[in-house]
Structure 1
Amino acid sequence: MNIIVMGGRGLVGRNIVERLRSQGHEVSIGSRSSGVDLITGRGLAESLVGIDVVVDVSNSPTFDDIASFEFFKTAGFNLLAAEKRAGVKHHVSLSVVGTGRLEASPYLRGKALQERLIRSSGVPFTIVHATQFFEFLLDIVNYAVRGQVIHLSPAFIEPVASDDVAATVARVAVGAPINGSIEISGPERGRMSELIQRFVIDIEAPYEVQTDVGATYFGAALDEFVLLPREDAERGALRFEVWWKLSEYARADW
């Protein structure tokens, strides 16, 4: 099977590429460094020649401003139009649990638009919704920190290891399109503020975590359950403690 992974040099993309190549598939990488630009369209048509499956794990370089919305709008339109012309048989997109429920977040509003473009494109598709990656916890800290204090919502989350997400996306990519979505989350549920508190203690960061029901999550206020997946979501196998011991954070000299 001929597959291209857009965003194939990122955290999840690299993992997906390695998994698919190890299964014997022909896998190429779509990124600016490989000559493919989703925003300008440069190199896009050429990269899709002979491609059966497009896996899109590309991501906005920003999270909390209108630029993130514009990224998904432009990249989604350009990619899907090129796939339609090329006769791609399956579009696989990595999205976020909570997309469509948090319109105040430019990032998630962009992801919701991306999904609408996918559903109306005419290209057979599968969307994989994932909860927050364990590896994303530091981004949450960086977004929420003010001075030495981190204000975080007590909303429930079920974070997941990116390795578990990559395994799911790679499996979906070689299967038949479902023209719908599946969800994957981690094996444990906890409140965001409490889980980040554990993370901050583990990395010995000099911050105080304060629970704040009014704290925003990349621009959106949260209720308790808005970031949780459906009951039929797949569950990743890696628990937080195990991921932490294997992670670069546990070995870092903070």
Structure 2
Amino acid sequence: MRVTVVGASGEFGSILCEILLKRGAQVIPAHRKTGVDAVTGTGLSAACAGADVIVDATSLMSRSAADSERFFSAVAQNIAIAADDADAAVVYLTIYGASDSAVNKKMGHYRGKAQQEAVYTEMLGDAATAFRSTQWYSLPEKFLAAMTFGPVAVAPRMLSRPAAVEDVAEAMADVVLDPSRPSDIIVAGPATMNLVDIAKAVAAKNGSPKKVFGVNVGGSAIRSGGLVPEHPDVTTSTTFEQWLAAR
């Protein structure tokens, strides 16, 4: 199977490419260093030509709703056009709960993902698979990197069923390589946790920062289960304790 991975240089995309290659797929990595700009569409058609499946693993680290909506909308539109030209299926990475207005109304990044989902649904329908992942164990590390002030850090209170990114990538590879793939799939970690507790555990293992305080972000849905699927299609196996011990 020939698979074009758009966003192949990112945290998730790079892991997915390795897994697909090990499973025998022909992988075409598409990102700026390979001459592909998914936002403008430059180089995208050539990278997707002949593909059986196109994976959208693009990401944008921005809290601005306007920036996120512009980015994810443009990328989805360009990939949808390339997929139609190549007669290829699309599997795109999104966040469980992102399209819920109670979750995304104060979360710019999630509003961008909601726009992404809307574009793919409108342009491709069932030819695009929404791969809805919960947050990853590595996310609180990013919070700590951005929000540490001397010996003190803050992290958001977010209830989720976090997973190891490697497990999520394995689950996506299953979907990508399955010709009968569903139009929608939800993947979640093995246990419900608050991301601030993960941040505190990571800080304790690292020995820094000394104190991590939880802060409220977004609306109450973020803290009360809007990001927690009750019945995911796939439950990953790596526990947080296993992930932390292996760091």
Aligned pair in 2 of structure 1 residues 142, 69: CA closer, same or farther (>3 Å)? farther
Aligned length: 240
Structure 2 contact 140–155 (Cα < 8 Å) conserved: no
Q: Which moved more, 1:76-85 or 1:32-41?
A: 76-85
- Identify the residue that residue 98 of structure 2 maps to in structure 1: 99
Structure 1 contact 77–117 (Cα < 8 Å) conserved: yes
- Identify the residue that residue 135 of structure 2 maps to in structure 1: 132
Deviations 1:92-131 (A, max 9, x none): 0111122112222111101001011111113612111111
- Identify the residue that residue 4 of structure 1 maps to in structure 2: 4
In 2, Cα distance between equivalents of 1:21 and 1:158: 28
- Identify the residue that residue 109 of structure 1 maps to in structure 2: 111
Aligned pair in 2 of structure 1 residues 174, 227: CA closer, same or farther (>3 Å)? same
Aligned pair in 2 of structure 1 residues 146, 64: CA closer, same or farther (>3 Å)? farther
SS of the residue corresponding to residue 227 of structure 1 reads coil
Alignment pair present for 1:43 and 2:47: no
Q: 1:96 is aligned with what amino acid?
A: I
- Identify the residue that residue 78 of structure 2 maps to in structure 1: 78
Percent of aligned positions that are identical: 25
Q: 1:126 is aligned with what amino acid?
A: T
- Identify the residue that residue 170 of structure 2 maps to in structure 1: 167
In 2, Cα distance between equivalents of 1:165 and 1:226: 20
1:177 to 181, 186, 202: 181
Deviations 1:23-54 (A, max 9, x none): 22211101111111101211111111111100
Q: 1:104 is aligned with what amino acid?
A: K
Q: Which moved more, 1:121-130 or 1:167-176?
A: 121-130
Aligned pair in 2 of structure 1 residues 11, 155: CA closer, same or farther (>3 Å)? closer
Root mean square deviation, CA, Å: 2.0
Aligned pair in 2 of structure 1 residues 155, 28: CA closer, same or farther (>3 Å)? closer
How does the TM-score come out when normalised to structure 1?
A: 0.86
In 2, Cα distance between equivalents of 1:52 and 1:173: 9
Describe how 1:201-240 pairs up with structure 2 within 5 A: 201-212=204-215, 215-216=216-217, 222-240=222-240
Structure 1: segments with no counterpart, 5+ residues: 248-254
Structure 2: segments with no counterpart, 5+ residues: none
Alignment pair present for 1:121 and 2:123: yes
Describe how 1:57-72 pairs up with structure 2 within 5 A: 57-60=57-60, 62-65=61-64, 66-72=66-72
How does the TM-score come out when normalised to structure 2?
A: 0.89
SS of the residue corresponding to residue 39 of structure 2 reads coil
In 1, Cα distance between equivalents of 2:235 and 2:42: 38
In 1, Cα distance between equivalents of 2:128 and 2:175: 10
Indicate the structure with greater helix content.
2
Q: 2:206 is aligned with what amino acid?
A: I
Shift of residue 233, structure 1, vs aligned partner: 3.8
Aligned pair in 2 of structure 1 residues 190, 23: CA closer, same or farther (>3 Å)? closer
Aligned pair in 2 of structure 1 residues 43, 55: CA closer, same or farther (>3 Å)? same
Shift of residue 147, structure 1, vs aligned partner: 5.9
In 1, Cα distance between equivalents of 2:11 and 2:235: 20
- Identify the residue that residue 251 of structure 1 maps to in structure 2: none
In 1, Cα distance between equivalents of 2:143 and 2:189: 17
SS of the residue corresponding to residue 119 of structure 2 reads helix
